[in-house]
Amino acid sequence: MDATTLKDAQAPLKQRYREDAGSALVTMRADGELDGTGVACRVRTATALVEAGLHPASGGDGTRLCSGEMLLEALVACAGVTLRAVATSLGLEVDGTVHAEGDLDFRGTLGVDKEAPVGFRDIRLGFDLRTSADADQVATLIRLTERYCVVLQTITGSPTVSVTTDV
């Protein structure tokens, strides 16, 4: 996709969202099915049914996906797509890779130490880029990628989360 094709695809959306802000609010959903025989949850993605389970550091055997790693994978995917969209809009040729890693102290999630945090304490997102863009263009590319990456902004912005239970 080139810049013109991307702009043409987004122009009517942007216009509609300017005229009717409510039409820009989209509720996304994910559903899981609890495994009645093991410690797992099946999640349907757009292309596959995946099964999440415990990370080996919390007692899993490594045969199921770890939701913490899935969070990092979502960050990489979102940052990569956002970077490509921004690069396309700016007319920059960019190739490369996206990496995310996070530090998680399993003492927290296992209840070994009540002072240990549950969840990632640090997450690092990195880009290894191949481009002919100059340093200022790359800085703009990264700044705009950070600004518009939904997953990154969600992680850093700490949205309001509610939990409900139906029995």
pLDDT at 130: 97
pTM of the model: 0.92
For residue range 107-154, what is the model confidence (pLDDT) as tens digits? 999 999 999 999 999 999 999 999 999 999 999 999 999 999 999 999
Residue 164 domain-assigned (yes or no): no
- Whether 163 maps to a domain, the answer reads no
Domain of 20, CATH number, reads 3.30.300.20
Domain-located, residue 82: yes
Domain that holds residue 46: 3-157
Residue 165 lies in a domain: no
Number of domains in the chain: 1
Measured between alpha carbons, how far is residue 26 from residues 22, 82, 142 in Å?
A: 9, 18, 26
CB atoms within 10 A of CB 140: 15
Residue 167: inside a domain, yes or no?
no
Q: At what angle do helices 3-19 and 67-90 cross, to 10 degrees?
A: 100
Residue 64 within a domain: yes
Q: Does the pLDDT at position 37 exceed 90? A: no
Is 85 contained in some domain?
yes
**Residue 67 confidence class, pLDDT cut points 50, 70, 90:** very high
C-beta atoms surrounding 160 within 10 Å: 4
Distance between CA atoms of 132 and 139, rounded to whole angstroms?
A: 13
The reported pLDDT for the residue numbered 40 is 93
Residue 35 pLDDT greater than 80, yes or no: no
